[in-house]
Amino acid sequence: MTFRKMAGAVACAVAMGLQGCASIVGESSYPVAVSSTPPGAAFEIVNKNGVVVHSGNTPGTVTLESSRGYFSGQTYTLHFKKDGYADKTVTLDSSLSGWYWGNILVGGLIGMLIVDPLTGAMYKLPEQASADLGAPLAGSSSGTLKVGLIDDLTPAQRERLVLIN
């Protein structure tokens, strides 16, 4: 092997040793699809520090950071609201990326203990977050007023009426 080839191989090995596997292959921010049943709910995303990082309406996609700092994954709380439905809160947690374990083969200790934890690439987020707001609340309507006449009631219904003064 010539000196040039040897120097090139050493340079490549050093460059790979200074990188983290998850930093090379993975991401530190992820697109998350946010949806609700029924659609059209307003949502707000709050990070673990209590800061609102995004708000919008479902369905939508938002890009979120997977890390909160050195060796700290991020946790988000999503608040969903829609008129006529109960509010819903969903938690979105980061988890350890499978690429992080690639440091055992490629990135070494530098990648495992420094690069990937600092860049946040050691964590990943789920691809989607959703909330089922359930059935419409009792007494809520679509904004229409229904008027009934006493003449439209059956005799049995009329017997159950209570006079209010």
CA 71: distance to chain centroid?
20
| Residue in 55, 41, 43, 146 with CA at minimum distance from that of residue 83 | 41
3 state SS of 23: helix
CB 35 within 8 A of CB 61: no
- In the sheet that holds 88-93, the strands lie side by side as 52-57, 42-46, 75-81, 88-93
- Predicted pLDDT of residue 56: 97
* Position 84 confidence tier, pLDDT thresholds 50, 70, 90: very high
Q: What is the pLDDT of residue 85?
A: 94
Write out the residue range of the structural domain in which residue 36 sits: 3-159
Inside any domain, residue 20: yes
In a domain, residue 164? The reply is no
Q: How many domains does the chain have?
A: 1
Q: Is residue 79 part of a domain?
A: yes
